[in-house]
Structure 1
Amino acid sequence: MTEPWEDLLPGTRRALLHRIAVAQTEARVPSVVAAVAREGRTVWTGARSCGAEHAPDGATQYRIGSITKTFTAVLVLRLRDEGLIDLADPLEKHLPGTGVGEVTVAQLLGHSAGLAAETPGPWWERTPAALRPELVDVLGERPVLHPTGRRHHYSNPGFTLLGSLIEAVRGASWEEVLRREVLEPLSMDRTTVRPVAPCAEGWAVHPWADALLREPVEDLGLMAPAGQLWSTATDLCLFAGFLVEGDEKVLSATSVAELRRPAAAPESGQWDGFYGLGAQVIRQGGRTLVGHTGSLPGFVAGLWVSPEDGVAAAVLANATSGLAAGSVAAELVGIVADAEPRIPEPWKPLPEVDQELLALTGPWYWGTQPVGLRLTADGGLELRPLRGGGRGSVFAPAADGGWTGLDGYYAGETLRVVRRPDGSVSHLDLGSFVFTRGPYAPDDAVPGGVDEAGWRGLGG
């Protein structure tokens, strides 16, 4: 049953239309189309164009440029999840003879392999793929510019290598594997490697006059995994939902979350965002957005989703430059999230309560630092500081009877309940840290012991 708040309010819809109308006018682009999804469902589409012959809608294809990289990254993680590769594998293990085989799969995904940003030779986005028939033509004589793994340096050839890796492991073309393993399972029927009508035509707009120049449309060949795809605003909103929730037909939520984790430190002055394993993450308007931006001659694109708000937006335009599609998409997310905040799920008590776990809840002390341990709705444990800042994590039960940290400082660390010979709880052990029921009680198992004189005043 559709809840009444799933449809946007008239004021919100007008604000969205106003934003893209301003964008189309001020950026002087032939057309712009946008879509907004909430909780995985498209709730608004809008478009502005310079004339009836350019009128697009949410089903009109545009080139999406580097948003393609996130699709390629999903295919690589699928290989990892199947045990066919490891992200720590050197490229040479699966794709020998490239000359850059010491770089790892993870470094290529996160743009920390040190490879050049572009290919040698003429501008690859505007020239035929026949000029780059082999990987050596993509990489050139000096493919590595920076120490491997030391810094973030965006690399289009790096994703060409990942596409070739996929083809080598799967024994099929990148295009075929993408269609079979991602696009069809996610029902992204209007996302294709080559344009399928209705599709927008790419234009350049003269910087000093209101005049247009048609841009060439080249098949990118080996560079396709870095930026080949055509898609629609509504298809991209489907993909945005996948970037938050995952889909067991394609990639689990746990694996999708890896796309969003920092792969390398951002460059100085760019601390408002970072690159994960094939996805960009930015902070804007006080919220975290996941997605990617893209551009190719004649087209710009932006896709962002706020996992916390459950709101996604895609913006596509058919001009080489002028419109910051990513910025507009981020603003559309903010318009909806601010005007119509997410309605939280009703609080519900646990279906069952484990009495032994319940007895562990409440205050504990790491030295003199008070922390609280509580049961979570999914049957896990959560440890958080009760006063000031400090370390905390959520824990899930492990097979050996302990608890494994899922986030924060204690991610991957083990929490154990240590009992006395009589079965009563002595303390909690968390990666060698001891948590006791009181601060430095004489009989507690505090490493280093406790002063026998106990607590005292200044003159004691």
Structure 2
Amino acid sequence: MKTTRLFFFVLSVTSGVSVLLSCRDDAGPGVFATVKTAAMSDVTPLSATGGGTVVDAGGSPVSSRGIVWNTQRHPTADLPTKTDDGTGEGTFVSLLTDLVPGTTYYVRAYATNGTGIAYGEEVTFVAADPYTTLDDAMKVNMEALSIPAVSLAIVCQERLVYAAAYGYADKEAVQVAANSDRYRIASLSKPITAIAALKLSEAGMLSLDDAVFGDGGILGNDFGAPPDGSLKDQITVRHLLNHTSGWINSPDDPMFRANDLTQAQLIRDLLANRPLVYTPGTQESYLNFGYSVLGRVIEKVTGTSYETYIKEMVAPMGISTLEIAGNTLEERLPGEVKYYQAGFSPYSMNVARMDAHGGWVATATDLARFMVHIDRNTHVPDIVSSSLQAMYFGDSFWVHSGSLPGTSSLLVRLDNTFSFVVLANTRTEDDYDRILEELYTVVRDHILMRSKWPSYDLFDQ
């Protein structure tokens, strides 16, 4: 009678992992190949690199070799989770794919000859957790780009599944960054203003095609009458929303000059003295000033201040950290980070005057709350309905960024499942978009590589 025997020795190592020194399935007379399992490397959430070496082919040529892996001990070559990495003696490299992040795997090299299948040592590894790799990647980028602090919020299916803070909210005070930190959000103020205008339109309090200036316009002649023939009386709410008013930032962006002028004085000046470059509605030219005017439109139709209306609008969402920023370091709000910029002081601007186009401060988590109420998904009620097909809100993917001295911000709708917010307390002075591009790429890539997400909702905590 034929007897099948298994020979193995188990050696305990300091890592607590048991290593199988040798294990052969007797399939008949002859000599098995001798194979060693290589250590794992390049471990990511979804893949890893392994391999092995066929040291001796044994009594007959090696017809196949590779590695096999499983979530249970002692994986065998009859599993579908294996590689086929050629024949013969020598070293081979194997790629493991379709891993589950955070899962422990057991791996063995194998070699098949005429006698049967021989296995090498068993090694273990854990597929990387994207949260860990995301945190590591974020810290690497912060160091490379000299970013003092970053706040991050990730939404999956309208649930807040990850919120993290990195670095120092105030370097001099050695104040560690926290999720509760508030940041100037710069032009992320514009989606907030746009949604307010769309909400007022749905309520019948204005039409997007209403004229803004002149007789019959929403603001009428509150800031002076538009000059005859200037076409400024043709500018509509829709034109301001879409940056197609006809004004451009030439010779300058009016919102960044003459800090002592009020909003009303700036509007009077441009209405009287700066001609339109394009006929309203024909050309797009990004214009902060247009959203400043929208703030005044909101005030006119609601009969209250712009800040008051926005706070009332977002309060039912559970948003409480939204507030118009102060200008100076001494006017920093409770819980607000400190801003850093080498080339230009973040505290030399009239940020409060920017209200509707760039003046808000908020936490990343509260901006994520705002996003789930405008994402056209069904679990969380949206603040407006049909109007969300207007502008970029109707797109399956959109990114809105913000940038000021001392501020970089991102609000991203990645798809119907994911969105995220990133806030930083500096910007790259030589290239304003560099921080935004780098941080966007880091977060997007780590979202896409993770296959499973938690079921909890941090919004509820």
- Secondary structure at the counterpart of residue 42 of structure 1: strand
1:90 matches 2:211: yes
Aligned residue type for 2:335:
P
Q: Can you list the C-alpha shifts for 1:324-364, whole angstroms capped at 9, x where unaligned?
A: 22552354133213322689xxxxxxxxxxxxxxxxxxxxx
Q: Which residue pairs with 1:230 in the alignment? A: 361
Q: Relative to structure 1, is the Cα distance of residues 113 and 38 closer, same or farther in structure 2, using a 3 angstrom cutoff?
A: same
Q: Can you list the C-alpha shifts for 1:181-218, whole angstroms capped at 9, x where unaligned?
A: 2x212111112113532111111136xxxxxx752164
Q: Which residue pairs with 2:411 in the alignment? A: 303
Shift of 1:260: 2.3
Unmatched 5+ stretches in structure 2: 1-100, 103-127, 227-231, 326-331, 455-461
Counterparts of 1:172 and 1:123 in 2: how far apart (Å)? Answer: 22
- Secondary structure at the counterpart of residue 302 of structure 1: strand
Indicate conservation of the 8 Å contact 2:262/2:353, yes or no: no
Q: Which residue pairs with 1:369 in the alignment? A: none
Q: Which residue pairs with 2:197 in the alignment? A: 76
Q: Relative to structure 1, is the Cα distance of residues 48 and 254 closer, same or farther in structure 2, using a 3 angstrom cutoff?
A: same
1:21 matches 2:139: yes
Q: Can you list the C-alpha shifts for 1:100-145, whole angstroms capped at 9, x where unaligned?
A: 2311111110111222237858762793454864522455611522
Structure-to-structure mapping, 1:177-196, within 5 angstroms: 177-181=309-313, 183-194=314-325, 196=333
Larger radius of gyration: 2
1:340 matches 2:451: yes
- Secondary structure at the counterpart of residue 398 of structure 2: strand
Counterparts of 1:21 and 1:235 in 2: how far apart (Å)? Answer: 23
Q: Which residue pairs with 2:9 in the alignment? A: none
Counterparts of 1:57 and 1:82 in 2: how far apart (Å)? Answer: 38
Aligned residue type for 1:255:
S
Counterparts of 1:342 and 1:36 in 2: how far apart (Å)? Answer: 11
Structure-to-structure mapping, 1:409-428, within 5 angstroms: none
Indicate conservation of the 8 Å contact 1:65/1:227, yes or no: yes
Q: Relative to structure 1, is the Cα distance of residues 150 and 332 closer, same or farther in structure 2, using a 3 angstrom cutoff?
A: same
- Secondary structure at the counterpart of residue 244 of structure 1: coil
Q: Relative to structure 1, is the Cα distance of residues 37 and 200 closer, same or farther in structure 2, using a 3 angstrom cutoff?
A: same
Q: Can you list the C-alpha shifts for 1:287-336, whole angstroms capped at 9, x where unaligned?
A: x532411122211111102233x112211111143552255235413321
Counterparts of 1:254 and 1:122 in 2: how far apart (Å)? Answer: 33
- Secondary structure at the counterpart of residue 446 of structure 2: helix
Q: Which residue pairs with 1:155 in the alignment? A: 287
1:313 matches 2:431: no
1:175 matches 2:307: yes
Structure-to-structure mapping, 1:406-445, within 5 angstroms: none
Indicate conservation of the 8 Å contact 2:368/2:420, yes or no: yes
Counterparts of 2:304 and 2:180 in 1: how far apart (Å)? Answer: 29
Aligned residue type for 1:196:
L
- Secondary structure at the counterpart of residue 147 of structure 1: coil
Aligned residue type for 2:336:
C
Give the alignment partner of residue 106 of structure 1, picking from 231, 238, 255: 238
1:324 matches 2:435: yes
Counterparts of 1:122 and 1:94 in 2: how far apart (Å)? Answer: 22
Q: Can you list the C-alpha shifts for 1:39-94, whole angstroms capped at 9, x where unaligned?
A: 22222223332657242122101100011011111111111111121112221321
Q: Relative to structure 1, is the Cα distance of residues 15 and 254 closer, same or farther in structure 2, using a 3 angstrom cutoff?
A: farther
Indicate conservation of the 8 Å contact 2:255/2:288, yes or no: no
Q: Which residue pairs with 1:67 in the alignment? A: 188
1:202 matches 2:345: no
Counterparts of 1:119 and 1:170 in 2: how far apart (Å)? Answer: 33
Q: Which residue pairs with 1:42 in the alignment? A: 160
- RMSD of the TM alignment (CA)? 3.1
The percent of aligned pairs where both chains have the same amino acid is 22
> Could you state the TM-score of these two structures normalised by the residue count of structure 2?
0.59
Indicate conservation of the 8 Å contact 1:28/1:205, yes or no: no
Aligned residue type for 1:11:
D
Q: Which residue pairs with 2:40 in the alignment? A: none
Q: Relative to structure 1, is the Cα distance of residues 115 and 258 closer, same or farther in structure 2, using a 3 angstrom cutoff?
A: same
- Secondary structure at the counterpart of residue 316 of structure 2: coil
Indicate conservation of the 8 Å contact 1:292/1:303, yes or no: yes
1:293 matches 2:384: no
Q: Which residue pairs with 1:449 in the alignment? A: none
Q: Relative to structure 1, is the Cα distance of residues 11 and 221 closer, same or farther in structure 2, using a 3 angstrom cutoff?
A: closer
Shift of 1:229: 0.3
Unmatched 5+ stretches in structure 1: 1-7, 207-212, 262-275, 282-287, 344-460
Counterparts of 1:140 and 1:302 in 2: how far apart (Å)? Answer: 35
Q: Relative to structure 1, is the Cα distance of residues 139 and 14 closer, same or farther in structure 2, using a 3 angstrom cutoff?
A: farther
Counterparts of 2:144 and 2:264 in 1: how far apart (Å)? Answer: 37
Counterparts of 1:26 and 1:155 in 2: how far apart (Å)? Answer: 32
Aligned residue type for 1:109:
L
- Secondary structure at the counterpart of residue 91 of structure 1: coil
Aligned residue type for 2:409:
A
Counterparts of 1:58 and 1:118 in 2: how far apart (Å)? Answer: 39
Q: Relative to structure 1, is the Cα distance of residues 327 and 29 closer, same or farther in structure 2, using a 3 angstrom cutoff?
A: closer
Indicate conservation of the 8 Å contact 2:199/2:384, yes or no: no
Q: Relative to structure 1, is the Cα distance of residues 246 and 101 closer, same or farther in structure 2, using a 3 angstrom cutoff?
A: farther
Q: Which residue pairs with 1:12 in the alignment? A: 130
- Secondary structure at the counterpart of residue 172 of structure 1: coil
Indicate conservation of the 8 Å contact 2:373/2:382, yes or no: no
- Secondary structure at the counterpart of residue 296 of structure 2: helix
Counterparts of 2:358 and 2:270 in 1: how far apart (Å)? Answer: 14
Shift of 1:152: 1.4
